Amino acid sequence: MSRQTVLELLKSRGEDFLSGEEIAQRLGLSRAAVWKAVDALRKEGYVIEARTSQGYRLTGSPDVLTEKEIRSFLGPTALVGKNLVCLESVDSTNTYLKKQALTGIPDGTAVTADCQTGGRGRMDRVFQNPKGKLVALSVLLRPEVPLERLTCVTAQTAVALCGAVEEVCGVRPQIKWTNDLVIDRKKLCGILTEMALEGETGRLQYLVMGIGVNVHQTPEDFGPELAEIATSLDMVLGRHISRPALAAAEIRALDRLYADICRGDTQRYVDAYRRDCVTLGKTVQLLSADGRRETAQALDIDDEFGLIVRLADGTVRTVRTGEVSVRGMYGYVD
């Protein structure tokens, strides 16, 4: 406990030094206990500068998705993240939470993983999660609301995540309909929402929202097939982004979203989605399940996050499911 309290105190001082005597007095520790706590933190990867007559100053933190490090950025939340599970490796954070849901884990449980060995996206597409490169985060919710209020949760999550990235990085991604976050026309983040219903009543058992944000990847990490269509925050910004800080911002954003869903206060997510949607105004291809392709113009987003398009024959219709490819993005050129 002394390590955590010393760490929190050092972080609260920012770039200022804090004397060992002041730390000891404020935390009710001996000077020897303070020194042992600092030494233990250094062994965990924290960079703590010490100067005679000035004390200690935290100058660097390990970029790890541990509960201690995430909570150091998190602050209080209403529900999401109060129960936080941090794993070194897992097949999929969504799969983990779905299994744990059967054991009665608390509403709002969040799980992160430093590495996923079987990460999945929409339509069961498998994606790579190299160790230490991405923020993989899933949240389990048990909202007691009508099911129709949850039909737009994936799009709402995309808006919430745009805010989280902007908070930490100072740049706001755009959204490719329906649920990809993009920067510079390349994919930054994917979202997979899954839910389970009771067989007899049709009532919601749980909802799991899974998120994967690319943070430290280089073009070499993506490989030749993905390097042209995917990006990471480090690549875009040209600087190192803290994964635990981003994970904490995501948890806060999802906590606010959950409260808004329960209140039915979600109109501002529609407005923000329209503003952030990179698909609007673009020529798109509508890809049906049987492989057919139709070219259309993306016109607008309706209040249920449906994509309103105009087909080549002038017909206007609203698309709610399926794949939409945007010209000039993800390799679509004709």
Least Cα distance to 122 among 188, 180, 56 occurs for 180
Report the candidate in 233, 254, 300, 239 with the shortest Cα–Cα distance to residue 112. Answer: 254
pLDDT tens for 155-210 read 999 999 999 999 999 999 999 998 999 999 999 999 999 999 988 888 999 999 99
pLDDT in tens, 57-77: 999 889 999 998 999 899 999
Domains of the chain: 2-60 (1.10.10.10), 67-276 (3.30.930.10), 283-326 (2.30.30.100)
Across the chain, mean pLDDT equals 91
Tell whether the model's pLDDT for residue 124 goes beyond 80: no
Neighbour-count burial for 90-99, b at 16+ CB within 10 Å, e otherwise: bebbbbbbbe
Strand partners, 176: 180
Q: Do residues 273 and 175 make contact, with C-beta atoms less than 8 angstroms apart?
A: yes
For residue 1, the model assigns a pLDDT of 58
| pLDDT reading at 333 higher than 80 | no
